Amino acid sequence: MDIPRPPSTLHTGSPPELTPTEQEVLEEYEKLANNMQKLASLLDTLASNPTVEILDGLRELERKTSLVFTLLKASVYSIVLQQEMSGYGGGGGGGGDDDQHHEGGQYEDEEDDQ
């Protein structure tokens, strides 16, 4: 015996009735999905095969970075050298302590300790 079945809510071949707004939203989602798929494919291609322009740019960046690093090391070395020369040179290299020296070459504080 065949028992009649109630209409199913599952998709059985004929599309369910959608409002125009729902149809527009689905179409936009479909466009978005296609665009995302194209973007993913393009990014995959770019990642696996870097272009000549990108490689040249990276080489130039590497050269500039190396130059900046070298200049930074030279500047730090120069500053350290200047500090050592002014501190150990004995030429009174601009410390401002000359005002506290007496004829004997002692600081005022040193006289109090003696």
Q: In the numeric block, which tokens belong to residue 71? A: 């200049």
pLDDT tier for residue 18 given thresholds of 50, 70 and 90: confident
Instruction: Please give the backbone phi and psi of residue 97, each rounded to the nearest 5 degrees, phi first.
Output: -85, -5
Domain parsing of the chain, residue ranges: 19-49, 50-85
Structure-model confidence comparison of residues 37 and 104, the more confident one: 37
Q: In the numeric block, which tokens belong to residue 47? A: 């990642």
Report d(CA 26, CA 20) in Å as an integer.
10
Interval 20-39 mean pLDDT: 95
Residue 86: exposure state from Cβ atoms within 10 A (0-12, 13-18, ≥19): middle
CA 80 to mean position of chain CA atoms: 30
pLDDT (0 to 100) of residue 107: 46
pTM reported for the whole predicted model: 0.35
